[in-house]
Structure 1
């Protein structure tokens, strides 16, 4: 996707962007490539955790049958569902909607399974009762397979939610070592480049917080010795995990990274993206005190700047496609373009400083859209 979209950005903006071949790191931690554009070379590393996703998605239906009602009951009793709906109406509608849709599928499957004896001869009906659970389970499995993709993404979103809350409670043991290893690599990169930028899209927005917190815990002076460090979140879902009661470690990490003013932070928001949380800044929305205006700096991106009206009509309800639109080329030469942003000649830290300084002067409650 990066290679394809960079060609589009280069053509639209009259740039020369050369993307090197992607190479898997020897330790398997990342997929790495280089980009050359306008005399600037960018080394781009993508943290790999697709193996963790494959190990957890999709889960067997028998596990969902037990886990989904228990999770929904816990989130409702703790007040999490109410708080998330307050901070992210569209996001909560999607997330809780697919869970209640799953429960509806369970009820429909059980009902259809109970009809099975009525279709058989009277002599076989007593024996057919033992087949009801098997038939209902098979129907449920078929429904989940049918709704796995768009527009529902039911199995994926239900399993993704389970991963997020397990990670919040420290019950996902495979992710912390991955973040520890990448944190060590980022620390070692200080002094080897003009700047270091950590980028988190979607769930990687909260993983990026944990990653930087690990770096700062090991080296509080990181980012103060001449190599600027920046953090960029796109399509952020930080409150999704931070509002959960067991996520005390995440909230503490969020507060520490927010307080590290020498690390720039830019939050790129898309109000049209139903799979992101964008009504307020991620700190306030997570019940974490904000250090002040301009932290993080913010860019609001219009969908009309990214794709043509005919494509909007076609893709609007393809929620995952819309969620990834922020990482793609922009049709508007003056609007935000992710490829131009990460490969362009202006350092990311300079962009963040410029935006943060401008936004710090605005009064609270003012709606601000800044082009980049």
Structure 2
């Protein structure tokens, strides 16, 4: 089969397998089939290529004809599970790495000016720990005053009470995943996850092989190689794309166009560590590639995303644009209120179906008739649907 587009998707720091993303995509496509005029989207079954590479095929049919997309998930959930610890000592280690290491490396001072809401979310687990510690200390003080004969034992047991209460509150408020993510980000910035570095190299090889096969196709029907990164997957996707461009600098000039789509990006969570010099070089290499089109959708209501700073951090020769998906406009008010109250649901909404048509359409962006560059050119020229609500950054037009 001839492919109109080759999509390579990288998910975030999540132990869920590609089956989860396939289910989300099918749901988004099904909703779009019901709402779109004269357009249908058929999503095929999930198929496995290797232990970390699975794909499904998408058939888009509309007034412009039929378009076929191969959607490949470049998985690293097995690596995430190796760092998805639930025990106390790993949690304490993650706290130490992120808060102490991040302070030493100036992370929080760099995040605050550009993403105050994200900075506050980053402080949330620490505030829980300190708040519970304060409550336990006050309780121990009162108990020691009321029972002076037992005061020594009370103060000896207070740390144990704090650990127990802290873990219970942390679980109830669902902040454990933040701690795991932040601790991992510290290791990732310093290049201390060798298994991820090896996986990134393998992912890049897979993308280059597919792009070379498309370039050798005498019919040249493949119009685009699209790298998609969601959440912290935007960090991995950028590194994959850097390796791809090192090995295939012709990409975008000879053969299919090359594009990058990031959703709810988190690149500063790693790039702002002073130890992340290798990752910052990756970003500089990617954004210097003139044929590249890089669009980012990050919602102001998503505190886990950096919606006021582009994922590329500095401008380059590539065409870059950042805007909001405007979830409040493409969802029913009641549904949006439910999502808004759950920070994890808000962060996953980029991959889910919406209840109203709008400018942000995940399925159209990844399987529709237009390349990402054509999508940007169309709406940039009209100055309408793609117009960002917060920030716009352009490289070369």
Shorter-chain TM-score bucket reads: 0.7 to 0.9
* 2:60 corresponds to: 37
From the superposition, tell whether residues 115 and 158 of structure 1 become closer, same or farther in structure 2 (CA, over 3 Å).
farther
* 1:24 corresponds to: 48
Whether 2:213 is the aligned partner of 1:185: answer no
* 1:234 corresponds to: 263
Asked whether the 8 Å contact 1:269–1:299 carries over to 2, the reply is yes
TM-score between the two structures when normalised by the length of structure 1: 0.84
* 1:215 corresponds to: 244
What secondary structure sits across from 1:250 in the alignment?
A: helix
* 2:316 corresponds to: 291
From the superposition, tell whether residues 114 and 29 of structure 1 become closer, same or farther in structure 2 (CA, over 3 Å).
farther
From the superposition, tell whether residues 143 and 33 of structure 1 become closer, same or farther in structure 2 (CA, over 3 Å).
same
* 1:250 corresponds to: 279
Asked whether the 8 Å contact 1:19–1:33 carries over to 2, the reply is yes
Asked whether the 8 Å contact 1:200–1:208 carries over to 2, the reply is yes
* 1:335 corresponds to: 359
What secondary structure sits across from 2:262 in the alignment?
A: strand
Q: CA deviation at 1:107?
A: 4.7
One of 140, 153, 156 as aligned partner of 2:166: 140
Query: After superposition, what is the alpha-carbon deviation per residue over 1:35-58, rounded to whole angstroms, capped at 9, x for unaligned?
Result: 111111111111222222222123
CA distance in 2: counterparts of 1:358 and 1:272, whole angstroms: 26
From the superposition, tell whether residues 144 and 223 of structure 1 become closer, same or farther in structure 2 (CA, over 3 Å).
same
Q: CA deviation at 1:210?
A: 0.3
* 2:197 corresponds to: 176
* 1:259 corresponds to: 288
Query: After superposition, what is the alpha-carbon deviation per residue over 1:168-190, rounded to whole angstroms, capped at 9, x for unaligned?
Result: 11112221111111110100011
* 1:311 corresponds to: 335
Asked whether the 8 Å contact 1:199–1:233 carries over to 2, the reply is yes
CA distance in 2: counterparts of 1:324 and 1:227, whole angstroms: 29
One of 27, 32, 46 as aligned partner of 1:9: 32
CA distance in 1: counterparts of 2:93 and 2:52, whole angstroms: 33
Asked whether the 8 Å contact 2:332–2:356 carries over to 1, the reply is no
CA distance in 2: counterparts of 1:208 and 1:368, whole angstroms: 21
From the superposition, tell whether residues 171 and 115 of structure 1 become closer, same or farther in structure 2 (CA, over 3 Å).
farther
CA distance in 2: counterparts of 1:353 and 1:188, whole angstroms: 28
* 2:372 corresponds to: 348
Consecutive unaligned residues in structure 2, runs of 5 or more = 1-23, 215-221, 384-388
One of 77, 84, 87 as aligned partner of 2:111: 84
5 Å-filtered alignment, 1:276-287, equals 276-283=305-312, 286=313
Query: After superposition, what is the alpha-carbon deviation per residue over 1:148-173, rounded to whole angstroms, capped at 9, x for unaligned?
Result: 3xxxxx11101101111210111122
Q: Kindly tell me the number of residue pairs found equivalent between the two proteins.
A: 352
From the superposition, tell whether residues 357 and 220 of structure 1 become closer, same or farther in structure 2 (CA, over 3 Å).
farther
From the superposition, tell whether residues 87 and 115 of structure 1 become closer, same or farther in structure 2 (CA, over 3 Å).
same
Higher RCO (CA < 8 A, seq sep 6+) = 2
From the superposition, tell whether residues 337 and 70 of structure 1 become closer, same or farther in structure 2 (CA, over 3 Å).
closer
CA distance in 1: counterparts of 2:90 and 2:391, whole angstroms: 44
CA distance in 2: counterparts of 1:65 and 1:333, whole angstroms: 45
Question: Which 10-residue stretch deviates more, 63-72 or 52-61?
Answer: 63-72
Q: CA RMSD in A?
A: 3.0
Asked whether the 8 Å contact 2:132–2:162 carries over to 1, the reply is no
Query: After superposition, what is the alpha-carbon deviation per residue over 1:104-131, rounded to whole angstroms, capped at 9, x for unaligned?
Result: 3345456667888889995x87677765
* 2:10 corresponds to: none
Q: CA deviation at 1:324?
A: 1.6
TM-score between the two structures when normalised by the length of structure 2: 0.79
What secondary structure sits across from 2:120 in the alignment?
A: helix
Asked whether the 8 Å contact 2:98–2:182 carries over to 1, the reply is no
CA distance in 1: counterparts of 2:56 and 2:77, whole angstroms: 18
* 1:151 corresponds to: none
